[in-house]
Amino acid sequence: MAEMDPHTPILVGVGQVVRHWDSKDAADAPSPLSLQVAAARRALADSAAAGPLAALVDRVVVVRSNLDSVAGTKHPFGRCANPPATLAAELGMASARCIYSVVGGDQPQALVNEAAEAIFAGEAAAVLIAGAEATATMKQALKARIQLDWSHSAEGAQEDRGLGPILLSDYEIANGLGAPTQTYPAFEQALRARLGLDPAAHADMMAELWAGFSAVAATNPYAQFPAARSRDFLKTPGDANYRVADPYLKWHVAQDAVNQGAAVVLTSVGAAKRAGVDPAKYVYLHGYAAFKDRLVSERADLSRSRAIEAALQGALDMAGKTAAAIDQFDLYSCFPCAVLLAAQALGVDWRRTPCTVTGGLPFFGGAGNGYSMHAIATMAERLRASPGEYGLVLANGGFLSKEAVGIYSTEPVSGWKPRADDAAQAEIDEAAAPVLLAESSEAVIDSYTVTWKKGQPSRGYVIASNDKGRILARVRTGHRATLQSLHDGDAIGKTVRIAHEKGVNFLEAGSRLCEPAAKGRLGERRFDDVIVRRDGHILEVTLNRPDAMNALHSAVHFQLHEIWDDFERDPDLWVGIVTGAGERAFCSGNDLKVTAKGGDMAIPPSGFAGFCARFDRTKPVIAAVNGVAMGGGLEIVLACDLAVAEDKARFALPEVKVGLYAAAGGVQRLTRQIGRKAAMELILTGRHFDAAEAVALGVINQRCDDGGAMAAARVLAATLLENSPSAIRASKEALNRLEELESLEEALAANSRIFGRLMRTKDFREGVTAFAEKRKPEWSGA
């Protein structure tokens, strides 16, 4: 010890804090600042020389918060404008240099590396690094409508390093990549393919890995979610472990609803001696490294991480160690692939060697960019308890984009020197990248995901390749059937068609409407509540819920949204017909029983029936009304270009009778089509009218005998096919322009505001409940 260079950097204090706030006492609510202060004071106290050590601190660094990590993010309780200076002021370190880090989970280790170099160079006497998140507090307070104030900020100079490098390109974002849960599946699925695992086997492997991590978290006093979770639970979708993004379930990914803070203090051996720090507290940084990878789409092999490999090897080389000589590991665990790729790079068997000291981001807690500060603090405590052992911490930022590694031990370092530059970063930067395609083409899927929202497929993308290069393509908005086909089975290796439109690559469905997918292509789409039939240039769409009078709910709207999208794009389809299954109803409107039970009420951007909010249709659609057309059913008829109805058909906009109004265009379209006074009477009374009156009013074009609606519609469609489809499209486009000039779209846009107010009334709840209970509603006017 006496011969050691006094400038050698050491870790001398670590501190952590966790709070499980119950939202009952606003005054007791933890904030990011309070957690930072508590962790920092614990770190100073941990050195057993808090006062002298605090006097040495001349650099205070705060890891960037989650809320400050994305431009434009709202701070619901106000924003601290200068986090490091505010922390410094709270600790009596107002003269310290204050730094606010860039974004990234790599930052805790990267900042330790930087601090060690600054201390060795004499540029800093002691460095305090802290980070905290109070996302759990924020979510609970917002839910409980508790107002907090997190805007307190001290004056002082601040080196705000900003958001850091761009981690996703415009091409990647436009074609489906985005949030971590959207992007990490690209690596996870590619890794699964390389390992030769089917989705079930890979889910089991992820569950086995995470069960071990959760067992560690269960014994960690600083864990936010300290419960051991079984392998069976972790691999099985359910209410408590719902789908997030294939192949991930809720407990496969980092959990950000935490109240956690951590801090570390570094200084030099000489300064520690002068401050009276017990040498038993010294933890040495034997090796470190940090590397950056290319943009996701530019990485030749998505099943590995060149940056992880380089950072691990670089730190081991600096420490003069092999992976076999490392006793304890904390491999960054935001998603399973991060751990699996690092373990592979190290040659470590994760089934035999624990790869976490905390319990990992899903179970210990995903404390934003600051998680690895907890890993470093825990590692220091473990190494002090096992003198002479070595520990490795891997910190990951972005999308396997930025990696920082530290190798620690209580064993003194002989001849410590800052890390020298090597060629590994240049090799990553200069490696050949795939050619990225932006064109209509066919390609084979290399990786993919489907993201989920409230149990429904929400969005998705594929990363595919052909002999020309790599192409990213997203699924069109609201195309749940295509998303479901992507989710079902294993899409890797399947051939897909991709359409390039207005700068975006779109994944086409595995087959055209009514046609089976060819062998080796993406699987079949299912339309469970809709029957589609092609007859030459005519598409026939049948609402297929006869037992419910063809009433529609969210899932059917999305099926129809995709069907009508495909109809509009298919050059071989010129005319559409829509009708209802059975003999009783065309469509009785919205399924209020589903609404009353609190079911999914999501509507695609194309509106009710995937049709009523389409303002750019260029192909005519005929309504074949074979029975009741009430509420939304009549709104479909009004949105169609032509309509025929059987004598038994009955029409109405009865929404006012159940506390609603015809918000899918019925109010506006009926008024336009039959005149204000006649429409007002039907809208405000909700009365029924028959096919004869519908003809007289101009709601339909013609009547026909009962049972003859489809025959009449087909005759009308055949008549349209005798004319130029191009001229018909031009006529429709001209009419669309007329609608734009009269602002029907703007009128309908106001519905969301009006309907939102209506849904908050007692009458709304009473109306749908009374309907479901088959009783007369008791209106209150409130």
Q: Mean pLDDT, the chain, as a whole number?
A: 94
**pLDDT of amino acid 266:** 98
Cα–Cα dist 41/35, whole Å: 10
**pLDDT of amino acid 510:** 81
For residue range 649-670, what is the model confidence (pLDDT) as tens digits? 999 999 888 888 888 899 999 9
Residue found by looking up tokens 């031009």 in the block: 730
**pLDDT of amino acid 753:** 65
Domains of the chain with CATH codes: 9-169+252-415 (3.40.47.10), 441-507 (2.40.50.840), 530-772 (3.90.226.10)
Model confidence at 462: pLDDT above 70? yes
For residue range 22-56, what is the model confidence (pLDDT) as tens digits? 988 999 999 999 999 999 999 999 999 999 999 99
Cα–Cα dist 686/684, whole Å: 6
**pLDDT of amino acid 601:** 79
Compute CA 672 distance to the chain's CA centroid, rounded to the nearest angstrom. Answer: 41
Could you tell me which of 337, 367, 363 has the C-alpha nearest to residue 233?
363
Cβ proximity of 423 and 469 under 8 Å? no
Q: Which residues are marked as active site? A: 635, 655
Token pair in block for residue 28 = 């007791």
Compute CA 399 distance to the chain's CA centroid, rounded to the nearest angstrom. Answer: 13
For range 737-763, the mean pLDDT: 67
**pLDDT of amino acid 96:** 97
Q: Where does the pLDDT of residue 781 fall: very low under 50, low under 70, confident under 90, or very high at 90 and above?
A: low
**pLDDT of amino acid 606:** 96
Continuous H helices in 83-221: 83-90, 107-120, 135-144, 170-174, 180-195, 199-218
For range 429-453, the mean pLDDT: 97
Cα–Cα dist 399/103, whole Å: 12
Edge-to-edge order in the sheet of strand 328-331: 159-160, 97-100, 57-62, 126-134, 259-268, 9-18, 283-292, 402-409, 390-397, 328-331
For residue range 702-736, what is the model confidence (pLDDT) as tens digits? 999 999 999 999 999 999 999 888 888 888 877 87
Cβ proximity of 369 and 107 under 8 Å? yes
Portion of the chain with pLDDT greater than 70, in percent: 97
Q: Where does the pLDDT of residue 1 fall: very low under 50, low under 70, confident under 90, or very high at 90 and above?
A: very low
pTM, rounded to two decimals: 0.91
For range 734-759, the mean pLDDT: 68
- 349 to 135, 311, 485: CA distances (angstroms): 34, 19, 35
For residue range 334-392, what is the model confidence (pLDDT) as tens digits? 999 999 999 999 999 999 999 999 999 999 999 999 999 999 999 999 999 999 999 99
Contacts of 206 (CB under 8 A, 6+ apart): 234, 235, 247, 252, 336
Cα–Cα dist 632/660, whole Å: 12
Portion of the chain with pLDDT greater than 90, in percent: 84
Model confidence at 272: pLDDT above 80? yes
Model confidence at 78: pLDDT above 50? yes
For residue range 574-614, what is the model confidence (pLDDT) as tens digits? 999 999 999 999 999 999 788 777 777 789 999 999 999 99
